[in-house]
Structures are given as structure tokens and as C-alpha cells.
Amino acid sequence: MTVIVGLVHRRRVHLAGDSAGSSGSQLTIRRDPKVFTNGPYVLGFTTSFRMGQLLHHAFQAPHPEGDLDRFMVTTFVDAVRTCLKEGGWARKDSEQEQAGAFLVGVQGRLFEIHDDYQVGEPVAGYAAVGCGDDLALGALHATAGLGLKPRERLTAALRAADHHSSFVSAPYIFARTPR
């Protein structure tokens, strides 16, 4: 259904995403963005437009404080869980809560939030989620040492996924962490 790509460059996190919405074999180009800012964060989602709408418009993003790793795993994820539950989107299976996958950038760091709410931070300084993630990760790896600007690298990753996946489509939307 999508690809969201992100990278860290000069203490800022840059995200980009496509505009495809898919259901089975049907593809719709959506106007609502999959990447956006919310407070000090930049976020990019996959899995469900409803989840993304809640993260964009209903999520009261807590201000980061203290140890950022601990904050993201506890305070941030707890706030996301509450938002998704109150918005009627959270799922529970065998007593385990599940959501969707998304990227989060804050304070110059890039995090992956997975459907079981685990928080990961890629050592490489770039990440991708969605059905085109492997294609995009290959492009991000291949462009790492070429001196390209963040938007150029993100565009290359999106174009690779767009070219090889029938569930990824332009136009592309870009966002970055606020200064």
C-alpha cells in the first residue's frame, strides 16, 4: 500500500512518502499526506489511513524529556496507544495490542514504531516502512556516500519503490523535523 522513507541529516530528520491508497487491486491517489509534522515530531505512516489521520489530527504529542530512548518506549508509545484506542482504531489479538507501522523523527533521531509498538532506531541513519520498504532501503543504501541532499536521496528511494511496486505511486510528500 505504501512506502515511507526517512533519514537523518545534520541533526534533522527528513521523511517522505508516496500518495497511494490501495484496497486489493484497486489503487487511489490520496490527497491526505502520509508524512507530516506534529509538535516537535515528523511522522510518516503506513498500514491504515485512519491510523495516520489520528496521529496527524488527534494525537497530542508529548514533549520529549529526559532519556530519549526511555521516553520513546514509554511515554511516547503510551500516548500513541491511548490516541488509537480513543479513536477506535487499536486492535487486540490474544490479549496483545497491535497498531500499524510508522516512522518518527525527533531531536535529530529517527525511530521505527512497529505494529506491536516496539521502538527501533536504525544505526544506518535511514529507514523505510511499507510494502516498498526493501526497494527503498536498497536505494538509500546505494546513495549513502554520493553526497546527495536529503530530498534527492529520499526521491531516489521513492522512485525505486514506485518503479518496482504496483502499490506505490507519486506524487511524493516531504516533511522534516522543525528547527
pLDDT tens, residue by residue, 62-81: 999 999 999 999 999 999 99
Q: Which of 98, 162, 167, 173 is nearest to 131 (CA)?
A: 167
CA atoms of 140 and 176, how far apart (whole Å): 17
Beta strands in the chain (DSSP E): 3-9, 12-17, 20-23, 26-29, 35-38, 41-45, 91-93, 96-98, 102-106, 109-113, 119-120, 126-130, 173-176
Question: What cell numbers appear for 29 in the block?
Answer: 491517489
Span 103-158, pLDDT tens digits: 999 999 999 999 999 999 999 999 999 999 999 999 999 999 999 999 999 999 99
Architecture of the structural domain at 3-176? 4-Layer Sandwich (3.60)
Q: Where are the domains of the chain?
A: 3-176
Mean of pLDDT values over 34-49: 96
Each residue of 141-153: b (16+ CB within 10 Å) or e?
eebeeeeeebeeb
CA atoms of 88 and 96, how far apart (whole Å): 16
Q: Which of helix, strand or coil describes residue 79?
A: helix
CA atoms of 133 and 92, how far apart (whole Å): 25
Q: Which of 151, 165, 163 is nearest to 5 (CA)?
A: 151
Sheet of 12-17: strands edge to edge?
126-130, 3-9, 12-17, 173-176
Predicted TM-score (pTM) of this structure: 0.95
Banded model confidence at residue 58, pLDDT cuts 50, 70, 90? very high
